[in-house]
Structure 1
Amino acid sequence: MSPRPTARVEQLREERRRDVLGAARRVFARKGFAAAKISDIASAAGISHGLVHHYFPTKEALFVAVIEESIHGWEALIARARAMPISEWERLVYVCSIMGESSVEASEHLRIIVHASMGGDAPQPVREALDRLERHVHEPLSSLIEEAQRTGAAAAGPPGELARAWMAVTQGLAINQAVHPGMARPPIELVLRLLKA
């Protein structure tokens, strides 16, 4: 038997790594960082405990990778919004709509942040990852709000404070959805009143 081509091996490795990250996201969202165990993640991914460690040496490294995945997703969202030939307000609405959507993955990312932020005993790499994520979300969102304010479309006030208020509402909705899974989220137009001039 001939060995598999290197490209195929790398593709399989990357697919398995993504499977582990997806399983970790689900487990961290459900249990929080402190209560989650590598064995929970391995079970959710359908692989052995040792294979999880093959991809991620520690639970902290796995958590940081999940947060980095969130950061990359957020950066891609901001880049898409900035590339659209739409008004500043429409750009802000687009970003907030995606951020506030009720998809399972978006909700999981928000619950992970809430869980980890509430735990005062989070290890340093976890706290640093959360700080990076907050900066990567807060700064571009503040900038979008400020741009919409210049056109008179967004509410007056410090853009940073408005961004934090929007983030708090979005996280609160994700928690509410986790507690009451069958409850529908309010329409985005209702929540956007927080930012509308």
Structure 2
Amino acid sequence: MTETPRRRPGRPSTRGHLGSLSAKDPIEVLPPTALNILGGARRVLERDGFAALSLSAIAAEAGEAKASIGYHFGNKEGLIVALLDSLVHEANRSLIAETHRFPMGEQRVRALVEGEERIVEDIANYRPLLEILPHALRDESLRKRVAELYSGYRETVLEVLDAATGPDRGTLEPFSMLMIAMVDGLSIQYSLDPEGINVRAATALWERMMRAYLR
């Protein structure tokens, strides 16, 4: 008889606490069972919405034991946070890799804007985020976990701008907040009206503002 896996202590994390994205994708090191669970959760979310995201539904969709969710992710909240981060991690990791091909300057700023454009236009990944975020605002525990993810996204912008540490951090922290707000706001509008929203015109204006601010 196979022993039922016990719940792991603590909580899983797909990034360091309040840290920027690492070059290594933490999703890649998850065992096959955990990846199946993440995939099942995403399919349930996309097909049936957040309200249908029960442990039983996820386990059935993934073809895994319900106890495995607790073993790999701690609880439903841990799974939702891992799912949320997995939706955007690859795009943000690519953003770091692309921008760091260039020294800090005009080419890196251009690479940053192009990377954010790709994130905005990736409707398939953004719509599941829109399913999760309203619930995170109402659930205090989940809200704190998602807030940690957003802190990591801001750290990623600071890392791209070589301001994660040093004297420029205080000046550029508000800029990182606006950068995330711009991406989220454009993503929502583009998801609602992809034919009517000119993402490139908006990001071109943002790039001009960014260059003026960073001088």
- TM-score under structure 2 normalisation? 0.59
Residue segments in structure 2 that go unaligned for 5+ positions in a row: 1-27, 164-173, 209-215
Q: In 1, distance between residues paired with 2:183 and 2:157?
A: 9
What are the Cα deviations for residues 6-42 of structure 1, in whole angstroms up to 9, with x where unaligned? xxxxx9x81221121122234345533x652112212
Matches within 5 A, 1:1-197: 14-28=31-45, 31-32=49-50, 36-70=53-87, 72-73=89-90, 76-85=93-102, 87-104=107-124, 106-118=125-137, 120=138, 122-124=139-141, 126-141=142-157, 159-160=175-176, 162-173=178-189, 176=192, 184=195, 186-197=197-208
- Judge which range, 23-32 or 93-102, deviates more: 23-32
Displaced runs of 4 or more, over 4 A: 142-147
Q: In 2, distance between residues paired with 1:64 and 1:56?
A: 9
Q: How many residues align?
A: 166
Identical-residue share of aligned pairs (%): 19
Residue segments in structure 1 that go unaligned for 5+ positions in a row: 1-10, 148-157, 178-182
* Distance 1:71-1:142 versus aligned 2 partners, 3 A rule: same
What are the Cα deviations for residues 87-141 of structure 1, in whole angstroms up to 9, with x where unaligned? 023212222123113252x2245325523334x1x152x2222111111112433
What are the Cα deviations for residues 37-63 of structure 1, in whole angstroms up to 9, with x where unaligned? 112212322334344344334212212
Q: In 2, distance between residues paired with 1:129 and 1:71?
A: 15
- Could you say what secondary structure the match of 1:195 adopts? helix
Contact 1:67 1:129 in 2 (8 A): no
* Distance 1:168-1:83 versus aligned 2 partners, 3 A rule: closer
Contact 2:127 2:191 in 1 (8 A): no
Match of 2:166 in 1: none
